[in-house]
Amino acid sequence: MMAASDAAAFLTYTTKALYLDDGEMAVIDPEGVTISSFVNGERKTKPVYEINWQPGEESKGAHRHYMHKEIHEQPDSCTNTMRGRMLPKEGLVKLGGLEEVADRLRGANNLIITSCGTSYYAALYGEYLLEEYAEIPVSCELSSEFRYRDAPMDEKTAVLAISQSGETIDTLEAVREAKRHGALSLGLVNVVGSTIARETDAGVYLHAGPEIGVASTKAFTSELVALNLLALFLGRQRRLSPSQAREILEGLEETPDLMRKVLAQEDKIVFLVDKYIEAENYLFLGRSYQYPIALEGALKLKEISYRHAEGYAAGEMKHGPIALVDPHFPTVALIPQSSTYEKMWNNIEEIKARRGTVIAVASQGDPQIATLADDVFYVPKIPEPLAPLLTVIPLQLFAYHLAERLNREIDQPRNLAKSVTVE
Ligand code: G6P
């Protein structure tokens, strides 16, 4: 990519003029972009944002679909989210976008995370993480609900909007509502210069690169990584020691390589899709950090295969979904090594007792799960809070390959849009 200084030098000699719709012309030069109207001669100046995307990133390459390419890009996109922001030896995280508001963040009494769709499931993950690392009270709010509620907020409240596009109207309006109450507004956004990025007081860019497939994949895992960085940033302000932070940072550094190991097992997913192709309904179960991943796995399946799927907190199973279980209703159970392993095991036993079929996503080195579940997909061992970065990959691949077998419009599923900019 051309460095910013080279680009500026290039533009010194090359002023570009672009003709836009509505009788406007944009003149681009090193100072910025000036939009002039042919109708009334009015001029508006727009700031220049540096976008860290390489030319060619927006092409499909050897992949049949953007979604497949984006699933496979995750080790690199997550690395890009971490790049230049982690100092493991010192147990520190550097987030330039938050420096100006660091003092206000230190004094914040609570954090509200607001978002939609897949980004909302990232928010739920963030809730567990931020409470564990930073001991700050966190609540997650669907933006479309939050903006119409009378949630108590003041200048001691921080509101974090998570949005891949930075343009989702409900999330944007939720940010505006928070600002009207005097809250500190933060953004966790992929698209540089997007409206949410511009309107929030401060924020963290994902740097995941362009995501073209409507169903979000690499932006989701980058959101999880960015939430880790934010939780460490706040954690070091509040309660985490350098050595605790160092351990987490070292785990994060290893994650992209472990993601590659998961992606290398794609054949197993193709086998599972073949085996379960007739199933019309699926249940996804998880606990704790795996609960948002169960929700995301079900959402991916619905979005692109049009098969019905429900995501549930496994502990809620006996409050309803268990009534649905029969041999034709497979359950995808997320059971990596964790503090809730035994509880998940019990849930799987309950499903098996009702003649349900179970596909388990478990940790390598857990042979006993194969004696209980019908099928097992193994992911490498990793500290519990980071396991979602691995367990979500087989779920993305399962949705992708099922949709492919069913000849669905994978990159542009029916009735869905990449950016929802109207209510
Ligand atoms: C749409 C997209 C989803 C996305 C959601 C939120 O529904 O199809 O993939 O998760 O919007 O988008 P955002 O850009 O705010 O993360």
- 195 close to ligand 1 (CB < 6 Angstrom): no
Could you tell me if the CB of 163 is within 6 A of ligand 1? yes
Atom 4, ligand 1: which residue's CA is nearest? 117
Supply 54's token pair: 């390489």
In this prediction, residue 48 carries a pLDDT of 65
Distance CA 258, CA 91 (A): 22
CB 416 less than 6 A from any atom of ligand 1: yes
Does 144 contact ligand 1 (Cβ within 6 A)? no
> CA 168, CA 115: separation in Å to the nearest integer?
9
What residue spans of 14-96 are helical by DSSP H?
Answer: 66-72, 74-82
Q: Residue 5: what pLDDT? A: 46
Contact present, 65 and 213 (Cβ < 8 Å): yes
Q: Is 391 in the pocket of ligand 1 (CB under 6 A)?
A: no
Spacing, Cα 116 to ligand 1 middle (Å): 6
CA of 163 to the centre of ligand 1 (A): 7
Which ligand 1 atom is nearest residue 168's CA? Answer: 15
Q: Is the CB of 396 under 6 A from ligand 1?
A: no
| Per-position b or e across 196-232, b if 16+ CB within 10 A of its CB | bbebbbbbbbbbbbebbbbbbbbbbbbbbbbbbbbbb
Span from the CA of 119 to the centroid of ligand 1 (angstroms) = 7
pLDDT at 3: 45
Pocket flag, ligand 1, residue 112 (CB < 6 Å): no
| 118 ligand 1 Cβ < 6 A | yes
- Contact between 340 and 291 under an 8 Å Cβ cutoff? The reply is no
The Å distance, Cα 220 to ligand 1 centre, comes to 10
Looking from the CA of residue 116, the nearest atom of ligand 1 is 6
pLDDT at 421: 87
Q: Tell me, using a 6 A CB cutoff, whether residue 143 lines ligand 1.
A: no
Q: Which pLDDT score is estimated for 42?
A: 77
Is the alpha carbon torsion for 205, 209, 215, 218 positive or negative?
negative
Instruction: Give the number of other Cβ atoms within 10 Å of residue 274's Cβ.
Output: 11
Report CA(291)–ligand 1 centroid distance (Å).
19
Ligand 1 pocket: which of 194, 418, 423 to mutate (most atoms <8 Å of CB)? 418
Ordered DSSP codes for 76-119 = HHHHHHHTT-EETTTTEE--GGGGGGHHHHHT-SEEEEEE-HHH
pLDDT of residue 25: 75
CA-CA distance, 313 to 6, in Å (whole number)? 52
- For residue 11, what pLDDT is reported? 46
114 CB within 6 A, ligand 1: no
Residue 35 pairs in a beta bridge with: 26, 44
Which residues, given as ranges, of the chain have pLDDT below 50?
1-13
Q: Is 29 exposed, middle or buried (0-12, 13-18, 19+ CB in 10 A)?
A: middle
* Ligand 1 pocket residue status of 270, Cβ below 6 Å: no
Which atom of ligand 1 is the closest one to the Cα of 223? 16
Best of 124, 420, 421, 422 for a ligand 1 pocket test (most atoms within 8 Å of beta carbon): 420
Ligand 1 centroid to Cα of residue 214, in Å, is 8
